[in-house]
Amino acid sequence: MSCIFCRIIEKRLSSRGVYEDDRVYAFEDINPQAPVHTLIVPKKHIPTILDVSEEDNELIGHMFQVANRIAIEKGIADRGFRLVMNCNHESGQTVFHIHLHLLGGRPMHWPPG
């Protein structure tokens, strides 16, 4: 199994877990870009946004529900937060197993870099 996030999901690699159910695992980013930087990762290996199909509709919605829940638990929901999913190299995607970045706890800039 070469995918680093599949290995994290399987607990072959350690991570700081935040939330887990049968469909997703959320854990703290190893290189946080904000006071809150949690990754929400589907247990299904989907390489990029371009590989998301209709059968994943419920899964993708569930990822947003989990992000909401974590944002509320971490106290950033009312202040505001950002959800990011990168796709392919120019976006900055480095791990080819889709993941939602939950970023918050500081003012965010727009446009992003």
Q: CB of 21: closest distance to ligand 5GP in angstroms?
A: 18
Is 99 noted as a catalytic residue in this protein?
yes
Residue nearest to ligand 5GP (CB): 30
Other residues' Cβ atoms within 10 Å of the Cβ of residue 104: 22
Q: What is the CA radius of gyration of the chain?
A: 14
**Quick one: which of 59, 68, 70, 60 has its CA closest to 17?**
70
Nearer to ligand 5GP, 59 or 83 (CB): 83
Q: Which entry of 62, 99, 101, 109 is annotated as an active-site residue?
A: 99
Q: Residue 97: which of Zn ion, ligand 5GP, none does it interact with, CB under 5 to 8 A by kind?
A: Zn ion
* Pair type for strands 36-42 and 81-84: unpaired
Burial bucket for residue 52 (CB in 10 Å: 0-12, 13-18, 19+): middle
Catalytic residues: 99
Residues that bind ligand 5GP (CB under 6 A): 4, 15, 27-31, 39, 86, 92-95
Residues that bind Zn ion (CB under 5 A): 3, 5-6, 45, 97
